[in-house]
Structure 1
Amino acid sequence: MILRAQESVLVVVDVQERLLPAIHESVSVVRHTGMLLKAAAALSVPVLVTEQYPRGLGPTVEAVRADLPPGTPVIEKITFGCTGEPAFNAAIQEVQRPQIVLCGTEAHVCVMQTALGLRQQGHEVYLVADAVSSRTPANHAAALERMRAAGVTIVTTEMVLFEWMERAGTPVFKVVSALVK
Protein backbone atom coordinates (compact mmCIF):
# COMPACT_ATOMS: atom_id res chain seq x y z
CA MET A 1 0.00 0.00 0.00
CA ILE A 2 1.09 3.53 -0.70
CA LEU A 3 1.09 5.97 2.18
CA ARG A 4 -1.27 8.91 1.71
CA ALA A 5 -1.14 12.02 3.88
CA GLN A 6 -4.94 12.21 4.00
CA GLU A 7 -5.13 8.60 5.28
CA SER A 8 -2.25 8.75 7.79
CA VAL A 9 -1.71 9.60 11.44
CA LEU A 10 1.80 9.96 12.87
CA VAL A 11 2.33 8.38 16.30
CA VAL A 12 5.45 9.39 18.26
CA VAL A 13 6.08 6.83 21.00
CA ASP A 14 7.96 7.71 24.19
CA VAL A 15 10.82 9.95 23.02
CA GLN A 16 11.46 11.04 26.60
CA GLU A 17 14.15 12.94 28.49
CA ARG A 18 15.37 10.23 30.86
CA LEU A 19 15.11 7.37 28.35
CA LEU A 20 16.75 8.98 25.33
CA PRO A 21 20.36 9.14 26.65
CA ALA A 22 20.39 5.31 26.81
CA ILE A 23 19.11 4.87 23.24
CA HIS A 24 21.48 3.80 20.47
CA GLU A 25 21.70 6.54 17.79
CA SER A 26 19.26 8.77 19.70
CA VAL A 27 20.37 11.86 17.76
CA SER A 28 19.21 10.21 14.54
CA VAL A 29 15.87 9.24 16.10
CA VAL A 30 15.24 12.83 17.20
CA ARG A 31 16.33 14.27 13.83
CA HIS A 32 14.12 11.92 11.80
CA THR A 33 11.19 12.38 14.19
CA GLY A 34 11.53 16.14 13.70
CA MET A 35 11.46 15.71 9.93
CA LEU A 36 8.31 13.59 10.19
CA LEU A 37 6.64 16.13 12.48
CA LYS A 38 7.43 19.06 10.20
CA ALA A 39 6.14 17.18 7.17
CA ALA A 40 3.00 16.14 9.07
CA ALA A 41 2.32 19.78 9.95
CA ALA A 42 2.84 20.91 6.34
CA LEU A 43 0.55 18.16 5.01
CA SER A 44 -2.16 18.28 7.73
CA VAL A 45 -1.36 14.78 9.02
CA PRO A 46 -2.64 14.42 12.60
CA VAL A 47 -0.05 13.61 15.27
CA LEU A 48 -0.37 11.72 18.56
CA VAL A 49 2.40 11.56 21.16
CA THR A 50 2.72 9.10 24.02
CA GLU A 51 4.78 9.24 27.19
CA GLN A 52 5.57 6.14 29.25
CA TYR A 53 5.29 6.96 32.95
CA PRO A 54 6.46 10.60 32.55
CA ARG A 55 7.00 11.07 36.32
CA GLY A 56 9.82 8.53 36.06
CA LEU A 57 11.04 8.95 32.47
CA GLY A 58 10.39 12.67 32.10
CA PRO A 59 8.44 14.45 29.37
CA THR A 60 8.99 14.23 25.63
CA VAL A 61 12.38 15.77 24.82
CA GLU A 62 12.32 19.49 24.03
CA ALA A 63 13.70 19.00 20.50
CA VAL A 64 10.62 16.91 19.64
CA ARG A 65 8.16 19.06 21.62
CA ALA A 66 9.33 22.11 19.65
CA ASP A 67 8.17 20.48 16.39
CA LEU A 68 4.75 19.35 17.61
CA PRO A 69 1.80 20.96 15.85
CA PRO A 70 -0.29 23.11 18.23
CA GLY A 71 -2.87 21.08 20.11
CA THR A 72 -1.11 17.74 19.62
CA PRO A 73 -2.47 15.27 22.19
CA VAL A 74 0.17 13.90 24.57
CA ILE A 75 -1.13 10.67 26.07
CA GLU A 76 0.37 9.39 29.31
CA LYS A 77 0.51 5.63 29.71
CA ILE A 78 1.85 2.89 31.92
CA THR A 79 1.13 0.04 29.53
CA PHE A 80 4.02 -0.70 27.18
CA GLY A 81 1.82 -1.04 24.11
CA CYS A 82 -0.14 2.15 23.43
CA THR A 83 -3.23 0.11 22.55
CA GLY A 84 -3.46 -0.91 26.21
CA GLU A 85 -4.28 2.72 27.06
CA PRO A 86 -7.97 3.63 26.51
CA ALA A 87 -7.12 7.31 25.81
CA PHE A 88 -4.82 6.24 22.98
CA ASN A 89 -7.45 3.99 21.42
CA ALA A 90 -10.01 6.81 21.67
CA ALA A 91 -7.59 9.23 19.97
CA ILE A 92 -6.86 6.75 17.15
CA GLN A 93 -10.58 6.18 16.65
CA GLU A 94 -11.25 9.92 16.64
CA VAL A 95 -8.84 10.68 13.78
CA GLN A 96 -10.40 7.91 11.66
CA ARG A 97 -7.33 7.26 9.52
CA PRO A 98 -6.37 3.71 8.52
CA GLN A 99 -2.62 4.27 8.12
CA ILE A 100 -0.56 4.53 11.31
CA VAL A 101 3.03 5.76 10.91
CA LEU A 102 5.09 4.89 14.01
CA CYS A 103 8.35 6.29 15.34
CA GLY A 104 9.97 6.47 18.76
CA THR A 105 11.53 4.29 21.44
CA GLU A 106 12.15 1.59 22.40
CA ALA A 107 11.74 -0.40 19.20
CA HIS A 108 11.58 -3.78 20.93
CA VAL A 109 9.24 -2.75 23.76
CA CYS A 110 6.69 0.07 23.48
CA VAL A 111 6.98 0.63 19.72
CA MET A 112 6.73 -3.07 18.87
CA GLN A 113 3.88 -3.79 21.28
CA THR A 114 2.04 -0.75 19.87
CA ALA A 115 2.59 -1.91 16.28
CA LEU A 116 1.38 -5.42 17.07
CA GLY A 117 -1.67 -4.09 18.93
CA LEU A 118 -2.57 -1.76 16.06
CA ARG A 119 -2.21 -4.64 13.58
CA GLN A 120 -4.53 -6.71 15.77
CA GLN A 121 -7.05 -3.89 15.58
CA GLY A 122 -6.86 -4.01 11.76
CA HIS A 123 -4.78 -0.90 11.05
CA GLU A 124 -2.14 -0.58 8.33
CA VAL A 125 1.05 0.04 10.33
CA TYR A 126 4.20 1.62 8.93
CA LEU A 127 7.30 1.59 11.11
CA VAL A 128 9.86 4.29 10.31
CA ALA A 129 13.08 2.30 10.77
CA ASP A 130 15.42 5.30 10.94
CA ALA A 131 13.16 7.08 13.47
CA VAL A 132 13.04 4.22 16.00
CA SER A 133 15.72 2.65 18.14
CA SER A 134 16.49 0.69 21.29
CA ARG A 135 19.30 0.65 23.79
CA THR A 136 21.10 -1.97 21.67
CA PRO A 137 21.27 -2.49 17.91
CA ALA A 138 20.42 -6.19 18.41
CA ASN A 139 17.10 -5.32 20.07
CA HIS A 140 16.32 -2.83 17.30
CA ALA A 141 17.04 -5.40 14.58
CA ALA A 142 15.04 -8.16 16.29
CA ALA A 143 12.07 -5.82 16.75
CA LEU A 144 12.05 -4.84 13.05
CA GLU A 145 12.22 -8.50 12.05
CA ARG A 146 9.35 -9.46 14.34
CA MET A 147 7.17 -6.54 13.26
CA ARG A 148 7.79 -7.27 9.57
CA ALA A 149 6.74 -10.88 10.15
CA ALA A 150 3.53 -9.61 11.78
CA GLY A 151 2.57 -7.55 8.72
CA VAL A 152 4.03 -4.17 9.70
CA THR A 153 5.50 -2.34 6.69
CA ILE A 154 9.05 -1.13 7.34
CA VAL A 155 9.78 2.29 5.79
CA THR A 156 12.26 5.15 6.11
CA THR A 157 11.66 8.81 6.85
CA GLU A 158 12.27 9.79 3.21
CA MET A 159 9.85 7.12 1.98
CA VAL A 160 7.14 8.59 4.22
CA LEU A 161 7.83 12.19 3.21
CA PHE A 162 7.79 11.56 -0.53
CA GLU A 163 4.76 9.26 -0.41
CA TRP A 164 2.86 11.82 1.65
CA MET A 165 3.76 14.59 -0.86
CA GLU A 166 2.82 12.50 -3.93
CA ARG A 167 4.23 15.05 -6.42
CA ALA A 168 6.84 17.71 -7.05
CA GLY A 169 6.21 21.28 -8.16
CA THR A 170 3.83 22.23 -5.35
CA PRO A 171 4.36 24.77 -2.56
CA VAL A 172 4.38 21.96 0.03
CA PHE A 173 7.01 20.08 -2.01
CA LYS A 174 9.42 22.98 -1.51
CA VAL A 175 8.84 22.95 2.24
CA VAL A 176 8.98 19.18 2.77
CA SER A 177 11.76 18.35 0.29
CA ALA A 178 13.96 20.95 2.03
CA LEU A 179 13.81 18.75 5.15
CA VAL A 180 15.94 16.05 3.50
CA LYS A 181 18.69 18.38 2.29
Structure 2
Amino acid sequence: MSFATPSLIDAARSVLIVVDIQERLCPVMTDPRGVLFNGARLVRGARRLGVPVVVTEQYPKGLGPTMHDILSELGDGASSAVIEKTHFSAAAEPLVRQHLESLGRRQAVICGIEAHVCVTQTAIDLRAAGWEVFVVSDACSSRRPESLTAALTRFPAAGVVPVITEMVLFEWLADKNNDGFKDIMSLVR
Protein backbone atom coordinates (compact mmCIF):
# COMPACT_ATOMS: atom_id res chain seq x y z
CA MET A 1 0.00 0.00 0.00
CA SER A 2 1.39 3.40 -0.94
CA PHE A 3 0.92 6.50 1.20
CA ALA A 4 1.56 10.18 0.68
CA THR A 5 4.50 11.68 2.52
CA PRO A 6 3.28 13.04 5.86
CA SER A 7 3.06 16.81 6.13
CA LEU A 8 3.54 19.05 9.12
CA ILE A 9 1.10 18.50 11.96
CA ASP A 10 -1.78 20.91 11.45
CA ALA A 11 -4.02 21.94 14.36
CA ALA A 12 -6.98 22.27 11.99
CA ARG A 13 -6.55 18.72 10.64
CA SER A 14 -5.37 16.72 13.63
CA VAL A 15 -6.76 14.98 16.68
CA LEU A 16 -4.81 14.04 19.80
CA ILE A 17 -5.32 10.43 20.88
CA VAL A 18 -4.22 9.63 24.44
CA VAL A 19 -3.96 5.86 24.78
CA ASP A 20 -4.51 4.10 28.11
CA ILE A 21 -2.59 6.31 30.57
CA GLN A 22 -4.36 4.64 33.48
CA GLU A 23 -3.91 4.44 37.26
CA ARG A 24 -2.82 0.80 37.53
CA LEU A 25 -0.81 0.75 34.31
CA CYS A 26 1.11 4.02 34.26
CA PRO A 27 3.13 3.55 37.50
CA VAL A 28 4.78 0.35 36.20
CA MET A 29 6.06 1.98 33.00
CA THR A 30 9.74 2.75 32.45
CA ASP A 31 9.11 6.51 32.44
CA PRO A 32 5.73 7.26 34.00
CA ARG A 33 6.66 10.85 34.88
CA GLY A 34 7.65 11.63 31.28
CA VAL A 35 4.40 10.17 29.95
CA LEU A 36 2.32 12.18 32.41
CA PHE A 37 4.28 15.43 32.01
CA ASN A 38 4.36 15.37 28.22
CA GLY A 39 0.88 13.87 27.87
CA ALA A 40 -0.57 16.66 30.02
CA ARG A 41 1.31 19.30 27.99
CA LEU A 42 -0.10 17.83 24.77
CA VAL A 43 -3.65 17.85 26.14
CA ARG A 44 -3.30 21.42 27.39
CA GLY A 45 -1.83 22.57 24.06
CA ALA A 46 -4.51 20.74 22.09
CA ARG A 47 -7.31 22.31 24.09
CA ARG A 48 -5.77 25.79 23.77
CA LEU A 49 -5.40 25.44 19.99
CA GLY A 50 -8.75 23.78 19.27
CA VAL A 51 -7.46 20.26 18.60
CA PRO A 52 -9.97 17.57 19.66
CA VAL A 53 -8.73 15.10 22.28
CA VAL A 54 -9.77 11.45 22.46
CA VAL A 55 -8.70 9.51 25.55
CA THR A 56 -8.97 5.73 25.61
CA GLU A 57 -9.16 3.45 28.63
CA GLN A 58 -8.31 -0.23 28.26
CA TYR A 59 -10.62 -2.21 30.53
CA PRO A 60 -10.88 0.43 33.29
CA LYS A 61 -12.46 -2.05 35.75
CA GLY A 62 -9.11 -3.81 35.89
CA LEU A 63 -6.62 -1.04 35.01
CA GLY A 64 -8.38 1.89 36.65
CA PRO A 65 -9.37 5.25 35.16
CA THR A 66 -7.14 7.66 33.27
CA MET A 67 -4.51 9.31 35.47
CA HIS A 68 -5.62 12.55 37.13
CA ASP A 69 -2.79 14.54 35.47
CA ILE A 70 -4.41 13.88 32.09
CA LEU A 71 -8.07 14.10 33.16
CA SER A 72 -7.53 17.44 34.88
CA GLU A 73 -6.32 18.95 31.59
CA LEU A 74 -9.43 17.84 29.70
CA GLY A 75 -11.76 20.23 31.48
CA ASP A 76 -15.38 19.95 30.47
CA GLY A 77 -14.94 20.89 26.84
CA ALA A 78 -17.03 19.31 24.13
CA SER A 79 -13.87 18.71 22.09
CA SER A 80 -12.72 15.85 24.33
CA ALA A 81 -13.98 12.33 24.91
CA VAL A 82 -12.97 9.45 27.19
CA ILE A 83 -13.88 6.12 25.61
CA GLU A 84 -13.53 2.64 27.10
CA LYS A 85 -12.08 -0.06 24.88
CA THR A 86 -11.30 -3.77 24.90
CA HIS A 87 -9.40 -3.95 21.60
CA PHE A 88 -5.70 -3.23 21.95
CA SER A 89 -5.93 -0.99 18.89
CA ALA A 90 -8.13 2.00 19.63
CA ALA A 91 -8.78 2.18 15.88
CA ALA A 92 -10.36 -1.29 16.04
CA GLU A 93 -12.77 -0.25 18.81
CA PRO A 94 -16.07 0.70 17.12
CA LEU A 95 -16.95 3.61 19.47
CA VAL A 96 -13.47 5.12 19.19
CA ARG A 97 -13.44 4.73 15.42
CA GLN A 98 -16.90 6.28 15.07
CA HIS A 99 -15.90 9.22 17.23
CA LEU A 100 -12.68 9.77 15.28
CA GLU A 101 -14.52 9.64 11.96
CA SER A 102 -17.15 12.11 13.23
CA LEU A 103 -14.42 14.70 13.80
CA GLY A 104 -13.64 14.94 10.07
CA ARG A 105 -9.89 15.07 10.60
CA ARG A 106 -7.24 12.79 9.09
CA GLN A 107 -4.11 13.44 11.17
CA ALA A 108 -3.62 11.49 14.39
CA VAL A 109 -1.14 12.54 17.06
CA ILE A 110 -0.83 9.63 19.48
CA CYS A 111 0.70 9.34 22.95
CA GLY A 112 0.28 6.79 25.70
CA ILE A 113 1.07 3.30 26.86
CA GLU A 114 2.10 0.66 26.22
CA ALA A 115 4.08 1.83 23.22
CA HIS A 116 4.69 -1.61 21.74
CA VAL A 117 1.10 -2.83 22.14
CA CYS A 118 -1.85 -0.42 22.16
CA VAL A 119 0.00 2.61 20.78
CA THR A 120 1.61 0.61 17.96
CA GLN A 121 -1.57 -1.21 16.99
CA THR A 122 -3.58 2.03 17.01
CA ALA A 123 -0.98 3.87 14.94
CA ILE A 124 -0.62 1.13 12.34
CA ASP A 125 -4.38 0.60 12.01
CA LEU A 126 -5.01 4.32 11.50
CA ARG A 127 -2.16 4.55 8.98
CA ALA A 128 -3.59 1.58 7.07
CA ALA A 129 -6.92 3.45 6.98
CA GLY A 130 -5.23 6.39 5.25
CA TRP A 131 -4.55 8.68 8.19
CA GLU A 132 -1.33 10.63 8.66
CA VAL A 133 -0.04 9.32 11.98
CA PHE A 134 2.48 10.83 14.38
CA VAL A 135 3.53 9.07 17.60
CA VAL A 136 4.95 11.29 20.34
CA SER A 137 7.94 9.29 21.57
CA ASP A 138 8.59 11.32 24.74
CA ALA A 139 4.94 10.89 25.77
CA CYS A 140 4.96 7.10 25.35
CA SER A 141 6.38 4.31 27.44
CA SER A 142 6.37 0.57 28.05
CA ARG A 143 7.35 -1.59 31.00
CA ARG A 144 10.77 -2.23 29.44
CA PRO A 145 12.90 0.27 27.50
CA GLU A 146 13.53 -2.23 24.69
CA SER A 147 9.77 -2.44 24.06
CA LEU A 148 9.58 1.31 23.40
CA THR A 149 12.66 1.05 21.18
CA ALA A 150 11.08 -1.79 19.20
CA ALA A 151 7.91 0.26 18.62
CA LEU A 152 9.83 3.36 17.52
CA THR A 153 11.95 1.24 15.18
CA ARG A 154 8.88 -0.32 13.59
CA PHE A 155 6.97 2.91 12.91
CA PRO A 156 8.80 4.28 9.84
CA ALA A 157 8.29 1.07 7.87
CA ALA A 158 4.54 1.40 8.56
CA GLY A 159 4.48 5.06 7.51
CA VAL A 160 4.10 6.29 11.09
CA VAL A 161 6.23 9.30 12.04
CA PRO A 162 7.89 9.47 15.48
CA VAL A 163 7.93 13.02 16.91
CA ILE A 164 8.45 14.69 20.29
CA THR A 165 6.12 16.89 22.32
CA GLU A 166 7.70 20.21 21.36
CA MET A 167 7.56 19.34 17.66
CA VAL A 168 3.82 18.77 17.97
CA LEU A 169 3.17 21.95 19.96
CA PHE A 170 5.15 24.19 17.60
CA GLU A 171 3.68 22.60 14.46
CA TRP A 172 0.17 23.08 15.88
CA LEU A 173 1.11 26.67 16.67
CA ALA A 174 2.65 27.26 13.21
CA ASP A 175 3.21 31.02 13.66
CA LYS A 176 4.48 33.35 16.36
CA ASN A 177 1.46 35.53 15.67
CA ASN A 178 -0.94 32.71 16.62
CA ASP A 179 -3.20 33.82 19.51
CA GLY A 180 -2.03 30.79 21.49
CA PHE A 181 1.68 31.62 21.24
CA LYS A 182 2.17 32.79 24.84
CA ASP A 183 0.22 29.85 26.25
CA ILE A 184 2.21 27.33 24.22
CA MET A 185 5.49 29.00 25.15
CA SER A 186 4.57 28.57 28.82
CA LEU A 187 4.36 24.81 28.15
CA VAL A 188 7.84 24.55 26.67
CA ARG A 189 9.82 26.72 29.09
Shared fold (TM-score, shorter chain, > 0.5): yes
Hey, what does 1:137 align to over in structure 2?
Answer: 145
- 1:60, 1:147 → 2: CA distance? 25
1:23 to 29, 51, 66: 29
AA at the equivalent of 1:92: L
Hey, what does 1:155 align to over in structure 2?
Answer: 163
1:41 to 29, 43, 47: 47
User: Gaps (5+ residues) in structure 1?
Assistant: none
Runs of 4+ residues over 4 Å off in structure 1: none
Hey, what does 1:175 align to over in structure 2?
Answer: 183
- 1:81, 1:173 → 2: CA distance? 34
1:11 to 17, 21, 26: 17
Q: Deviations over 1:8-41 (max 9, x none)?
A: 1000000000001110111011000111011101
Q: Percentage identity across aligned positions? A: 47
1:111 to 119, 123, 127: 119
- 2:178, 2:122 → 1: CA distance? 34
Q: Secondary structure at the match of 1:49?
A: strand
Deviation at 1:170, TM superposition (A): 3.7
Cα RMSD, aligned residues only: 0.9
103 and 54 in structure 1: CA distance in 2 versus 1, 3 angstrom threshold:
same
Q: Does 1:74 align with 2:67?
A: no
Deviation at 1:151, TM superposition (A): 0.5
Aligned residues: 181
1:98 to 103, 106, 124: 106
User: Gaps (5+ residues) in structure 2?
Assistant: 1-6
Q: Deviations over 1:46-84 (max 9, x none)?
A: 000000000000000111100014242111111101122
Hey, what does 1:56 align to over in structure 2?
Answer: 62
Hey, what does 2:4 align to over in structure 1?
Answer: none
1:164 to 168, 172, 181: 172
- 2:142, 2:170 → 1: CA distance? 26
- 1:166, 1:83 → 2: CA distance? 28
Q: Secondary structure at the match of 1:48?
A: strand
Q: Deviations over 1:84-129 (max 9, x none)?
A: 2100110110001111000000000000000011011110000001
Q: Secondary structure at the match of 2:56?
A: strand
AA at the equivalent of 1:179: L
Q: Secondary structure at the match of 1:6?
A: coil
